[in-house]
Chains A and B, each alone.
Chain A
Amino acid sequence: MKGKQPFEVVVADHGAAVLRVCRAVLGPGDADDAWSETFLAALKAYPELPDDANVEAWLVTIAHRKAIDVTRAAARRAVPVAEVPESPAIQREDGRDLDLSAALTALPRKQREAVAYHYLAGLPYSAVAAVIGGSTDAARRSAADGIAALRKTCAGAALPEGETR
């Protein structure tokens, strides 16, 4: 039968990818809330979504907006501190393995969005650009810069203390 699938199928098909995207963009702390807000908003708008729409790109667009809302709300709650705490991105879980999700969260926003939407959600760069703004080439560059930075941090973590490459 032609027409829209039950929303349950949308959650089953895309729930994991959207959670990975929320974690990458916001960090694990706020990811669950962003996921819930994303799927509630999607459920509300679902009947009006055109039947031939790219559901994954549509969900990423909603998740992107929700992530911005969550970040703004967190900024309003934040209290200024005298000392900037050490970035979690350079802490290692067991001495050798670097926490990749912390490294991802520490990337500049555009870079982690581009990495998340292209590599975790599988959107082509043209669709990534439509979500985050800017050109397709700029989206490709942001993702490449982000991956290069992650690779560098991970390569550093894989080497024994004091050694460099």
Chain B
Amino acid sequence: MTAQHQPQVQELLAALPAVTQAQLRALHDQLADSADARGLLDVAYRTIDTPVGTLLLAATGKGLVRVAYDTEGHEKVLATLAARLSPRILNAPRRLDAAAREIEEYFAGLRRAFDLPLDFSLSTGFRRTVLSHLSDIAYGHTASYAAVATAAGSPGAVRAVGTACATNPLPVVVPCHRVVRSDGSFGGYLGGPAAKQALLALEAA
């Protein structure tokens, strides 16, 4: 087919019924359900609007595996999940119904602890040990990086605790926002200082 013919053919075929976004969405959602039912959906995700911005939630069959702030770049986070866990990833909200509900309750001030299966496979070694101790810091309380290092069994590893918090794959749910500097100042936060302040203010109310 020559270049002159091509536009005419496209014009001819333009008379075919259009594929609408609604049709594609329905097919996509059906695909997500079938894939989940057949065990082919390795990572399901959705987004949720919160007072600290839009959060990305992702879950494997084992549990919630990632919570990501807008500032982390949701596309980049999904690409990382594809590389580190599996590229069988679909926007499939159903698997995240419980997580979304609990996070909404948390931001509404109706929930003080999360009761969700968690998948820590994105964290290894000492970082994982640190994360497992963060849930010991109760709602509305804070602990210093040094105190968390001691609790994790390595009193000298204050900087490593900072790194573990900064790379927490499950912020909000695993409360790294409750870890502050020994002088009482907030310290850094992967969702930005404003988000950390907002979470601590919510829990202090």
| A43 pairs with B28, CB closer than 8 A | no
Name the residue of chain A whose CB is nearest to the CB of B5. A147
Total contacts A-B at CB 8 Å: 98
| B10 pairs with A119, CB closer than 8 A | yes
- Which residues 147-165 of A have a CB within 8 angstroms of B? 147, 150-151, 154
| Chain A residues in 8 Å Cβ range of B185 | none
- Which residues 33-53 of A have a CB within 8 angstroms of B? 35-36, 39-40, 43-44, 46-47
| Chain A residues in 8 Å Cβ range of B88 | 7, 43, 46-47
B173 touches A (CB below 8 Å):
no
Main secondary structure of the interface of B (DSSP, over half): helix
| A46 pairs with B90, CB closer than 8 A | no
| B24 pairs with A16, CB closer than 8 A | yes
Please tell me which stretch of B12-20, B113-121, B137-145, B159-167 contacts chain A, meaning at least 4 of its Cβ atoms lie within 8 angstroms of it. B12-20
| B31 pairs with A11, CB closer than 8 A | yes
Please tell me which stretch of B75-83, B124-132, B186-194, B196-204 contacts chain A, meaning at least 4 of its Cβ atoms lie within 8 angstroms of it. B75-83
- Which residues 67-90 of B have a CB within 8 angstroms of A? 76, 78-83, 86-90
Contact partner of A100 (CB less than 8 A), chosen from B9, B15, B28, is B15
| A8 pairs with B90, CB closer than 8 A | yes
B54 touches A (CB below 8 Å):
no
Name the residue of chain A whose CB is nearest to the CB of B34. A40
Please tell me which stretch of A20-28, A62-70, A75-83, A129-137 contacts chain B, meaning at least 4 of its Cβ atoms lie within 8 angstroms of it. A20-28
| Chain A residues in 8 Å Cβ range of B80 | 1
B40 touches A (CB below 8 Å):
yes
B205 touches A (CB below 8 Å):
no
| B27 pairs with A35, CB closer than 8 A | yes
B101 touches A (CB below 8 Å):
no
Give the interface size bracket for B toward A: 35 or more
Main secondary structure of the interface of A (DSSP, over half): helix
Bound together, the chains give a CA A147 to CA B13 distance in angstroms of: 9
| Chain B residues in 8 Å Cβ range of A5 | 79, 82, 87
For A54-91 the 0/1 string (1 means CB < 8 A from B) is 00000000000000000000000000000000000000
| Chain A residues in 8 Å Cβ range of B38 | 40
B3 touches A (CB below 8 Å):
no
Contact partner of B81 (CB less than 8 A), chosen from A6, A23, A32, A119, is A6
| Chain B residues in 8 Å Cβ range of A32 | 27
| B86 pairs with A101, CB closer than 8 A | no
Minimal beta-carbon separation of B12 from chain A (angstroms): 6
Contact partner of B40 (CB less than 8 A), chosen from A3, A16, A28, A43, is A43
B182 touches A (CB below 8 Å):
no
Known: A3-B82, A4-B82, A36-B31. A44 touches B40 (CB 8 A): yes
| B87 pairs with A154, CB closer than 8 A | no
Bound together, the chains give a CA A7 to CA B78 distance in angstroms of: 10
> 5 tightest CB-CB pairs across the interface, nearest first?
A6-B89, A4-B87, A100-B15, A16-B19, A6-B82
- Contacts from B to A (Cβ < 8 Å): 1, 9-10, 12-13, 15-17, 19, 23-24, 27-28, 30-31, 34-35, 38, 40-41, 43, 45, 76, 78-83, 86-91
- Contacts from A to B (Cβ < 8 Å): 1, 3-8, 11, 15-16, 19-20, 23-24, 28, 32, 35-36, 39-40, 43-44, 46-47, 97, 100-101, 104, 115, 118-120, 140, 143-144, 147, 150-151, 154
Supplied contacts A5-B87, A40-B40, A104-B16, 4 more A-B pairs, CB within 8 Å = A6-B87, A35-B27, A47-B88, A147-B12
